[in-house]
Homo-oligomer: A and B are copies of this chain.
Amino acid sequence: MTVRVGVLGAGTVGGALITRLVADRDAIRLKSGVDLEVRKVAVRDLGKERPFNLPEDRLTDDSLAVVTDPAIDVIVEVIGGLEPAGDLVLAALRSGKPVVTANKELIATRGQEITEAAKRTGVSVMYEAAVGGGIPVIRPLAESLSGEDIDVVSGIVNGTTNYILTAMAKEGRAYEDALTEAQRLGYAEADPGDDVSGRDAAFKTSILASLAFGERVAPWEVETEGIENVTAEDVAAASARGEVIKLIGSARRGVDGRVEARVEPSSLPADHPLAGVSGVTNAIFIEGPSVGRLLFTGPGAGGQATASAMLGDLIQVASRGRAPRVRSAHDGTPRRQVLHR
C-alpha cells in the first residue's frame, strides 16, 4: 500500500528528508514494507532551486491545502517555529492525518493541545527528531523506560553551544571568536540567539523532562542561562581545576516532589560521562534506581541525522495506520514490526 506524504517546509531538514524519500523510495519499501510517496511539498518560494527531484506540480505555496488534501495520508512538518507550524499541525490532526515533526519549540510549547487534538481523531503525532537529532531518545524514554522511576535526565542537547565551548576549551579561543568560526562552518546560524541563549536547549529539556517524569514541564518553567557570558578565563580556570564547562540541560524531582528543570553552563569533572562529549555531538544521560545510568551519544543535529529520525517516525506512523500484523526480522519481513502486532 502506498502512503501519500505531504511535507510542510523544504529547508535543511525537509530537503534532506525529501531527497531520501525520493531517491530511496524502493529501498525503503523493500526494507520497511511501506511505500512512501511524496505527494505534495509546501514551500514559501516556488522559484527556489531544490536538492530533490520532484515533478513541478508536487510543489505548492499553499500549506493549508496540503494539510486538508484528502489525497494525502500523513503530514511531515519541518517549517519550525510556533506559527504557522502549530495551526497547520492542528489542522492536519483534526482532519485525521498523523503528523511527524522535529519541531521542539512547538512540542515543548503546545504539546498538550497537539496531543489532545490527535487523541480526538485517533491519530498519532511523533517527534523522535525533536531532541538529539538522530539519537533515539524520545521512544526509549516514552516506552522502554516507562517502568522506571527516573531520578535524573540531563544532557548536552545543543550542538552549536557544545561546538563553541569545545573550541574555547581545546583551542583557547574567546567566545566571539569561537562563535564566528562555528558560523563559518555552518554549525551556528547567522542569528545564533536561540542557541547561545539556551532557548533551544530549554525546549528540548522541557520535552525530556515531561517524558521522564510523566508530567508537563513547560519551557518557561526551565530556568535558563546561556553561554554568552562564559569567558575564555572561565574556561581556562575550569581547565586548571581539571574540569570542563558544558551547557547542561537537566531535570530532576526535587524534595518537594516538583520537577526542577534548568539549562546552565556547568563545570564538570573531566571524568564525568558528559565531559568528553565534544564538538556538535549530543549526549543524553538518564538515571533511575533500577536501570542505573544510561548514556545515549550521537550527532545531535544536521539535516541527514534529523531526517533519518523523521523517516523512522514516518515508517512507524505509516505502518500503524494499517491493520495490525506481526512480522519479524527473524523471518525476513520488515523488522519494525517485531515490536508490534
Taking beta carbons and an 8 Å cutoff, which residues of A are in contact with B?
16, 20, 24, 27-28, 31-32, 98, 107, 111-112, 114-116, 118-119, 122-126, 128, 134-136, 138-149, 210-211, 213-216, 273, 288-299, 302, 304-305, 307-316, 320, 324-332, 334-336, 338-341
Contact = CB atoms under 8 A, between A and B. Distances in A.
Contact of A143 (B20, B294, B316): B316
A113 to B, nearest CB: 8
Contacts of A149: 24, 27, 31
A32 B330 contact: no
Contacts of A31: 146, 149, 214
A331 B116 contact: yes
A294 B135 contact: yes
**Most chain-B Cβ atoms within 10 A of its Cβ — which of A28, A146, A210, A341?**
A146
Copies in the complex: 2
Given A326-B115, A326-B122, A134 B331 contact: no
A327 B273 CA distance: 33
A124 B336 CA distance: 12
B326 A118 contact: yes
Given A32-B147, A143-B316, A339 B308 contact: no
A134 B305 contact: no
A146 B296 contact: no
A3 B142 CA distance: 20
A50 to B, nearest CB: 19
A102 to B, nearest CB: 13
Contacts of A144: 128, 136, 138-139, 309, 312-313
Given A119-B326, A292-B134, A308 B214 contact: no
| The 4 nearest A-B residue pairs measured at CB | A147-B311, A115-B328, A111-B330, A136-B144
Nearest to A111: B330
9 contacts: A32-B146, A114-B330, A119-B325, A136-B143, A142-B338, A146-B334, A147-B309, A148-B308, A295-B295
Given A28-B147, A139-B140, A297 B295 contact: yes
B138 A329 contact: no
Given A124-B341, A210-B335, A330 B216 contact: yes
Given A123-B326, A134-B291, A216-B332, A211 B296 contact: no
Given A116-B331, A118-B341, 12 more contacts: A31-B214, A112-B328, A124-B339, A134-B291, A136-B136, A138-B144, A139-B140, A142-B329, A142-B336, A146-B311, A214-B334, A292-B298
A336 to B, nearest CB: 4
Contacts of A297: 273, 294-297
A298 B290 contact: no
A327 B211 contact: no
Contacts of A325: 119, 122
Contacts of A20: 147, 290
A33 to B, nearest CB: 10
Contacts of A330: 107, 111-112, 114-115, 210, 216
B134 A290 contact: yes
